[in-house]
Amino acid sequence: MLKFMLKRLFVAIPTLLILITVSFALMRAAPGGPFTSEKTPPPAVLENLNAKYNLDKHIVVQYGIYMRDLILYQDFGPSFKYQDRSVTEIIEGSFPRSAIIGLWSFFFIIIIGIPIGIWAAVKQNHWQDYSVMSFAMSGVVFPNFVLAPLCVWLFAVKLGWLPAGGWGDGQFNYLILPIFAMATSYIAQVARLSRGSMIEVLSSSYIRTARAKGLPTSIVLWRHAMKPALMPVITYLGIAFVGLITGSVIVDQVFQTGGIGQHFVQGATNRDYSLILGVTILAGALSILFNAIVDMLYTALDPRIRY
C-alpha cells in the first residue's frame, strides 16, 4: 500500500506540472489581457501596469517567475483583477464557503441518493422504482441554473421562508437553498447509478446461490450485494466530491455565497491569469488526491483488488 501511495505521488507531480503548463499557455493564448477594457488606458499607463505585473517580460520568463514563486514560496501571485489581493488570500476566503456547501451536499447525496437507488433496485418495476426513477430523470433534466432561481422565487420571494442570497455568517438557513441547488442533480445521478449497479449485482449467479441457500433477503442484500454494487457509485462520488467542494458558478451567482466556483469562470473572463491558475491547481491537486482515495477504497470493497 505504501508503495502504491508513493507511486501515486510520483505520478501526481508531473501531472500537476503538465496541468499548470498547459493552463498557463492556454490562458495566454486567449485574446486580450487583464488590462484590456472598454476605456483602454493610454500606452504609458499600460506599460506601467505591464511592468508591475511582469507582463513586459518574455512569456517563458514569466512562466519561470511563476513556477519559482509557486515552488519556492507556495505563492500563487497577486490577482490581476483584484489588484490589492493575492490569489492565496482570495482562495482562503472563498474555498471554505464552497467546501462547507459541498460537504453538506455530499452528505445528503450519500444518505438520500444511495438508499433510494437501492430501494428502487430491490423493488424493480414496482411503483417505488418508477417514482425514484422519475425523480432521477427530472433531477437530470432540471439543471441547477433552472432549479436555483426557481427555488429562490418560490422559497424566498413568494413564501419568504428562506433568505434569497448571501452567506449570513454561515447560518444554516442561508445554506439550505444553495445545498439543495447543488445536491439535487447529484442525488439523482447517484440514485440512478446505485439502482443500475444493484440490479446487475442482484441478477448475478452468486446472489442466486445465496438465495438458493435460503438466506433472508436482508442478509443477501447487506452482506453480499452491497459492496460490489457500490463500486461504480464510489468511482462517481470520488470525482463528484471534488466538483462539490470546489463550488459551482451557478450557486455562487444565484446565491452570492462568496464561494470559489465563480472564480473558475470570472477568472477566465477577466483574464486574471494568476487567479485562474490558482483555482486550476487547487482543483487539479484535489482531483488527483481523491482519485487516489477512491482507488484505496476499492481495496476495502473488493478483496480481488490489490496494489
> Which residues are at the interface with other proteins (CB under 8 A)?
30-33, 35-45, 48-49, 51-52, 74-76, 81-85, 88, 90-97, 99-100, 149, 152-153, 156-157, 160, 163-172, 252-259, 262, 269, 271
- Taking the complex as a whole, the smallest distance from the CB of residue 284 to other proteins amounts, in Å, to 13
**CB-wise, 153 or 206, nearer to other proteins?**
153
- Taking the complex as a whole, the smallest distance from the CB of residue 8 to other proteins amounts, in Å, to 18
- Taking the complex as a whole, the smallest distance from the CB of residue 292 to other proteins amounts, in Å, to 16
**CB-wise, 12 or 99, nearer to other proteins?**
99
Give the burial string for 85-114 (b: 16+ CB within 10 Å, else e): ebbbebbeebbebbbbbbebbbebbeebbb
**CB-wise, 44 or 212, nearer to other proteins?**
44
- Taking the complex as a whole, the smallest distance from the CB of residue 304 to other proteins amounts, in Å, to 35
Angle between helices 59-73 and 273-301 (to 10 degrees): 50
- Taking the complex as a whole, the smallest distance from the CB of residue 278 to other proteins amounts, in Å, to 9
Helices (H), the chain: 2-29, 43-52, 59-73, 87-108, 114-122, 127-141, 144-151, 172-202, 205-212, 217-219, 226-245, 249-255, 261-269, 273-301
**CB-wise, 68 or 85, nearer to other proteins?**
85
Residue 300, all three cell numbers: 476495502
**CB-wise, 150 or 305, nearer to other proteins?**
150
- Taking the complex as a whole, the smallest distance from the CB of residue 167 to other proteins amounts, in Å, to 5
Report the length, in residues, of the chain.
Answer: 307
Report in angstroms the alpha-carbon separations of 104 from 23, 96, 97.
30, 12, 11
SS3 207: helix
**CB-wise, 182 or 191, nearer to other proteins?**
182
Alpha-carbon gap, residue 157 to 125, rounded angstroms: 39
Q: How many CB atoms lie within 10 A of CB 189?
A: 20
